[in-house]
Structure 1
Amino acid sequence: MSTTERDRLDGRRTLVTGGTRGSGQAVVARLRELGADVWVSARTMPAGYERPDRFVEADTSTPEGTDTLARRIAEGGALDILVHVVGGSTTPPGGFAAATDEQWLTEINLNLLGAVRLDRALLPAMVEAGSGVVLHFGSIQRQMPLHEATLPYAAAKGALRTYSKGLANELAPHGIRVNTISPGGIETEGYEDFLGKLAEASGGTREEAEQGVHAALGGVPLGRFARTEEIADLVGFLVSDRASSIVGAEYVIDGGTVPTV
């Protein structure tokens, strides 16, 4: 098989959750460039979305939303590739005492149980087909939890990593590869807006605001966060035949943020 053939994903039936913004949007674009037949899910379809025939409106943080998505995807048979990008944090600041049971459940449903439920619905068909790739998006916060506002998010991502490793061990004998990507900061439109608000609040520059963010993380040796296209390139590699022996691994893409020895 040639180098080009090992990169290509021609005709492979794919689902990307949370695929309308940021990293998810970049992942969808990259996999389509590689030839995959990509379905996308998100809570709402953006106005003027270019591929409405490959879009499913669904909130995967709820059992009902997951069921809706799974039924629609199952109509076309087994997936070849499943990429769980959707996630995030809405916990208010204030540390552990400010996070209510409701907030904890919100984060766990969004960042852990959504993937668990969708896997449970869609992976049996992969098992029957005898092949497939599953990729979960984690976070470096499973190793570096930020306590002020994102502790429930960090805990859910830690659980997602453990779940992914166990799932990988279970499904590898059936020809299915499960891996995890754990990004650090990512340069998205939302991040740029956040920097603008920080700069405005402090009366400083955007550069100073960014330096403050990096300092809060203990430094980013690369000097910048990852770009969405870099996240997408890693996804493209991990779901391709080039990564055919990578199973149960976690790929950290964080510019060196997490200290290692």
Structure 2
Amino acid sequence: MSEMHEFTGLGVGGRRVVVAGATSASGTATCAALADAGATVVALGSNAGRLDELALHVPGIATEVCDLSDSSAVDTLALRLSASGAVDGLVHLVGGWVGGRGIPGQTDDAWSSIERSFRTLRNTSRAFYPALVASEAGRVAIVSSTAVDSPTASAADYAAGKAASESWMRSLAHGFRSDQGESGLRAAAVVFVVKALVDDRMRAAAPEKTFPGYTEVGTLAAAVVGLWDAPAGELDGARIRLP
């Protein structure tokens, strides 16, 4: 029988959180919010120069250069990080919008980008899964899209890729419950849903736009920090629409 674990509500302070795709605008905001809340942040990316810029913008974080589409490289990284301490969170922010004109406009290049996003989620969550199960408060989160709810021809590749990622996250949620049991559940897999994300750079580049329905990257970052403020049982398998 699983041991009952009482939720302590200690928050993210002192937790060690891995952020994949950390050099994006959403990644930068998330790393900053986590660090401000007292988390130890490990930022992952494939471009050393952009990671150096991130480290200057968010002092105190650790950075790791890794091709997240290479499962062997991710496995090696996960083993090394796990050997040096607990890993309490994985925030996957790899990928962005890809569209095309109708079904014939769904190109192989676009699909390759979408497929890479899913592959990096699969690689990172598999590699860090044992550490997240071992954590007293493991959390995995991705950002999905409202396009999954109402896919269009022009966003067919994008919606299909996001749907695959959401399915994978539901499987992770089932894995956590299977491995830890309902009464001992400490880990949670969560999907955040947005129409699109917006940041200060986008607003500055198009001051005439209002970006209706878009979610500020700071709102996403705050939601990530809040994952450690609720018990796993309330979060595991959740699909949360962000304002």
TM-score bracket for this pair, using the shorter chain length: 0.7 to 0.9
Change (3 A) 1:53 1:177: closer
Secondary structure, counterpart of 2:140 in structure 1: strand
Find the counterpart in structure 1 of residue 33 from structure 2: 30
Provide the aligned C-alpha RMSD in A. Answer: 2.7
Find the counterpart in structure 1 of residue 217 from structure 2: 228
TM-score, normalising length: structure 1: 0.74
Separation in structure 1 between the aligned mates of residue 128 and residue 105 of structure 2, nearest angstrom: 36
The structure number with the bigger radius of gyration is 1
Change (3 A) 1:89 1:65: farther
8 A Cα contact 1:145 1:151, kept in partner: yes
Separation in structure 2 between the aligned mates of residue 61 and residue 228 of structure 1, nearest angstrom: 24
Q: Which residue identity is paired with 1:13?
A: R
Q: Which has the higher contact order (CA 8 A, sep 6+)?
A: 2
Q: Which residue identity is paired with 1:108?
A: E
Find the counterpart in structure 2 of residue 203 from structure 1: none
**One of 68, 82, 91 as aligned partner of 2:90:** 82
Shift of 1:155: 0.8
Find the counterpart in structure 1 of residue 163 from structure 2: 158
Change (3 A) 1:233 1:142: same
Find the counterpart in structure 2 of residue 237 from structure 1: 226
Q: Which residue identity is paired with 1:228?
A: V
Change (3 A) 1:178 1:32: same
Separation in structure 2 between the aligned mates of residue 36 and residue 231 of structure 1, nearest angstrom: 16
Shift of 1:18: 1.4
Shift of 1:96: 1.9
Q: C-alpha deviations, 1:22-79, integer Å up to 9, x for none? A: 2211111111111111100122142443358610122323435534543443342441
Separation in structure 2 between the aligned mates of residue 135 and residue 117 of structure 1, nearest angstrom: 14
TM-score, normalising length: structure 2: 0.79
Secondary structure, counterpart of 2:224 in structure 1: helix
Shift of 1:7: 5.6
Higher deviation after alignment, 242-251 or 28-37: 242-251
Find the counterpart in structure 2 of residue 39 from structure 1: 42
Separation in structure 1 between the aligned mates of residue 223 and residue 82 of structure 2, nearest angstrom: 27
Gaps of 5+ in 1: 197-205, 215-219, 256-261
How does 1:63-102 map onto structure 2 within 5 Å?
Answer: 63=71, 66-67=74-75, 69-91=77-99, 93-102=100-109
**Percent of residue pairs bearing the same amino acid type:** 25
Separation in structure 1 between the aligned mates of residue 169 and residue 61 of structure 2, nearest angstrom: 30
Q: C-alpha deviations, 1:183-230, integer Å up to 9, x for none? A: 22222245336636xxxxxxxxx14xx4xx65xxxxx4xxxx222211
Separation in structure 1 between the aligned mates of residue 195 and residue 231 of structure 2, nearest angstrom: 22
Separation in structure 2 between the aligned mates of residue 24 and residue 252 of structure 1, nearest angstrom: 18
| Paired residues, number | 224
8 A Cα contact 1:57 1:69, kept in partner: no
Q: In the alignment, does 2:202 pair up with 1:191?
A: yes
Higher deviation after alignment, 101-110 or 159-168: 101-110
8 A Cα contact 2:172 2:189, kept in partner: yes
8 A Cα contact 1:8 1:35, kept in partner: no
How does 1:1-261 map onto structure 2 within 5 Å?
Answer: 6=9, 8-45=11-48, 46=50, 47-48=52-53, 49-50=55-56, 51=59, 54-63=62-71, 66-67=74-75, 69-91=77-99, 93-110=100-117, 112-129=118-135, 131-148=137-154, 150-173=155-178, 174=180, 175-189=186-200, 191-192=202-203, 195=206, 206-207=208-209, 210=210, 214=212, 220=213, 225-238=214-227, 240-246=228-234, 247-253=236-242, 255=243
Separation in structure 1 between the aligned mates of residue 14 and residue 88 of structure 2, nearest angstrom: 9
Change (3 A) 1:243 1:190: farther
8 A Cα contact 2:35 2:61, kept in partner: no
